[in-house]
Structure 1
Amino acid sequence: MGATGLLVAVPADVREFENYHWHASPSTYLAAIRKVAGAVPVIVPALLDESDLDILFERIDGVLVTGSASNVHPALYGVEPSTSHEPFDRERDRLSLTMIHRALQTGVPLLAICRGHQELNVALGGSLATEIQDGEGRMDHRAPEHPEQAGRFALRHPVRPEEGGRLAALVGNEPFPVNSLHRQAIDRLADGLAVEARAADGTVEAVSVPSARGFALGVQWHPEYWAETDGPSRAIFEAFAAACRERRDARAAG
């Protein structure tokens, strides 16, 4: 799909590499934005302040909050940090949570994936659990050991959409397979969120924001990896793109 004039903002991860402080984002998310949503991805550095974000949000049509190897700092949801919560990226925390709040306040469409899904819950007052595979009756949601990314991101367990929910409106009410690469998950659900899908062990796999002025969906799995070939993954990105187009057109109309 070619670009349609849409701009989708992606908050950057911050990494130390080759003696530089990098602000970057994994290419799989950027490719899904470009190829499936038909938008231009804009990586937003964690250097921005409130006035910079004012300018940014006047121009963008959507926000996609990505997954990451880092985790939300537990101090943000009232838990004492430990080594099991690491690694952290406090600059990413600040930027992502601020952008999530801005998107919800302004009606800019929001798609939050993996870490982003967890950030959405924390931003609205929820908490996270770590090392969930150690809990009684819980599945092992961590990434499988595999030499190739396609193997690590393989679709391997079903999630069941909430019947009649916002996710079900996109993908249907029947269970469908997703990939799984996380060891943290939603613990206490934020009051402002609605559960849209769960795994068989009860893990919250998708949420929405019923009060949001625009599209606002969080998913724990990685639809970006299979967005070009997997039906549910594509449906999520296409719905996000449609919401971004509506936002662009409304802004153009004044």
Structure 2
Amino acid sequence: MNAADTAIKPIIGLTTYLERAGTDGCGNVRAAFLPEKYLTPILDAGAVPILLPPQPTTGDMIEHLVSRLDGLVIPGGWDVDPARYGQEPHPETDSPRPERDEWEAALILEAIRQDVPLLCICRGEQLLNVTLGGTLHQHLPDVLGTGHYQLGGYQFNGIHVDIRPDSRLGRLLGADALEAVPVSHHQAVDRLGEGLIATAWSEDQIVEAIEHPGAGFCVGVQWHPEQLADEKALFHGFVEAASAKMLSRLRPAAVDSLDFAHEMAAN
């Protein structure tokens, strides 16, 4: 069932940056933000996006928050702190954002525990892998001798990827390969985290997508599907999974309401 077929739309949480940002209204301030391109495909698929800025993960806040979401997106951004996977930082690795790493890692683990649909993009895919015990190649030019995965200057390069056809990603996209997917990364999955499988590779055999077969919907892609104006299948499939999660939450409440109504009528 598509979200548009229901009276209530699924709620999708998207984690955000927390960086210094210049704004016309407030000047140069520390701000939580996310590029609009991440929001548009969620809206187009019939869901409601809400932004989740990095914050402390004390008490049972994460559990309660995730229980109110129908889906979770972990988007791109700065490099994951290599200390999270037991490595010293490479000279080309970004300065760490431990607050964001901690926030998103906690959300990832809780989303998997509660079986909330999870879509991880670029940095998000890398953090999914690290959170489940995997590691990263910190600088692909050292591994491959080429920098074509990250052109710099906030530009995207188009690369070919082969997709495992029997994977969730392959079934959603209906393809065993894609041409010119937009990438901008100098890091990539190395050792896979626990429970994860690789489901797409570049021509250099760099892992470009992963998923967790033991979860209802847990997919990570190294490329940026939000940059493709005609990308529908991945986001619609994700929102359909979120719609199913939403309906599974609503059914017990509906049954309780019906039981209460019957009890009142009997009295």
TM-score clears 0.5? yes
Counterpart of 1:11, as a letter, is T
Which residue is 2:9 aligned to? 5
User: Identity of paired residues, percent?
Assistant: 34
Q: 2:205 aligns with which of 186, 195, 202?
A: 202
* Residues 38-49 of structure 1 aligned to structure 2 (within 5 Å): 38-49=46-57
Q: 1:162 aligns with which of 143, 161, 164?
A: 164
In 1, distance between residues paired with 2:55 and 2:152? Answer: 34
Is the contact made by 2:14 and 2:73 (CA closer than 8 Å) also made in structure 1?
yes
Q: Deviations over 1:196-247 (max 9, x none)?
A: 11001001001110111x2100000000111x41xxx311101101100000
C-alpha deviation, 1:51, in angstroms: 2.8
Larger CA deviation: 106-115 vs 166-175? 166-175
Q: Deviations over 1:114-159 (max 9, x none)?
A: 00000000010000112202324666201365xxx7xx346x2110
Which residue is 2:125 aligned to? 117
* Residues 18-33 of structure 1 aligned to structure 2 (within 5 Å): 18-33=27-42
Is the contact made by 2:67 and 2:114 (CA closer than 8 Å) also made in structure 1?
no
Compared CA separation, residues 133 and 251, structure 1 to 2 (3 A): same
Q: SS where residue 84 of structure 1 aligns?
A: coil
Which residue is 2:261 aligned to? none
In 2, distance between residues paired with 1:140 and 1:153? Answer: 10
Is the contact made by 1:223 and 1:234 (CA closer than 8 Å) also made in structure 2?
no
**How many positions carry a matched residue from both structures?**
241
Which residue is 1:243 aligned to? 241
Larger CA deviation: 98-107 vs 85-94? 85-94
Listed as ranges, the gaps of 5+ residues in structure 2 are 22-26, 253-267
Is the contact made by 2:42 and 2:48 (CA closer than 8 Å) also made in structure 1?
yes
In 1, distance between residues paired with 2:53 and 2:159? Answer: 34
Question: Where do 4+ consecutive residues of structure 1 move more than 6 Å?
Answer: none
Larger CA deviation: 237-246 vs 41-50? 41-50
In 2, distance between residues paired with 1:160 and 1:48? Answer: 39
Q: 1:93 aligns with which of 89, 94, 101?
A: 101
Q: Which structure's CA Rg is the greater one?
A: 2
Is the contact made by 1:4 and 1:38 (CA closer than 8 Å) also made in structure 2?
no
Listed as ranges, the gaps of 5+ residues in structure 1 are none
Which residue is 1:126 aligned to? 134
Counterpart of 1:202, as a letter, is Q
In 1, distance between residues paired with 2:54 and 2:147? Answer: 34
Compared CA separation, residues 188 and 138, structure 1 to 2 (3 A): farther
In 1, distance between residues paired with 2:183 and 2:243? Answer: 30
Counterpart of 2:178, as a letter, is F
C-alpha deviation, 1:48, in angstroms: 4.2
In 2, distance between residues paired with 1:76 and 1:90? Answer: 9
C-alpha deviation, 1:19, in angstroms: 4.8
Counterpart of 2:200, as a letter, is A
Q: SS where residue 135 of structure 1 aligns?
A: helix
In 1, distance between residues paired with 2:224 and 2:117? Answer: 18
